Chains A and B, each alone.
Chain A
Amino acid sequence: MKSSVLLVMGMIILLFAGALLARDNYLVMEENYTIAGNTLLVNANIDVGEVVIGKNNRDDQCHVYIKYTPERAECDIRYNENNNELDVIVDFENWKKWRDDKDNDEDFLQVLIELPANPEIDLNTDFKAGEFELELGDLKIHNLNFSNWAGEARINFHAPNRIKMNEMDINFKVGELDIQNLGNARFEEADINSGIGEMTVDFSGESLEKAMARLDLDIGETTIIIPNHIGTKLRVSKFLFLSEISYPNWFDKRGSYYYSDNYENSSKFLYLMISTGIGELSIKVD
Chain B
Amino acid sequence: MKSFSPPLKISTPRAAPRLLWPLVALALIFAVDGIISPHFFAIRIVEGRLFGNLVDIVYRATPIAIVALGMAIVIGTKGIDLSVGAIIAIVGATLDWRIHMGDPHLLALAIALAAGVACGLWNGLLVAVLDIQPIIATLILMVSGRGVGLMINLIYGGSDPSFESPLLQGLSTGHIGLIPTRILVGIGLWIALWALVRRTALGLFLEAVGANPKAAELAGVEARAIKWAAYVISGFMAAAAGVILTADTHTSDPVSIGLYSELDAILAVVIGGGSLNGGRIYLLGAVLGAVVIQALTTSILTSGLPPEYNLVVKAGVVLVVLLLQSARTRAAVARLATGRKR
Do A and B pair up? The answer is: no
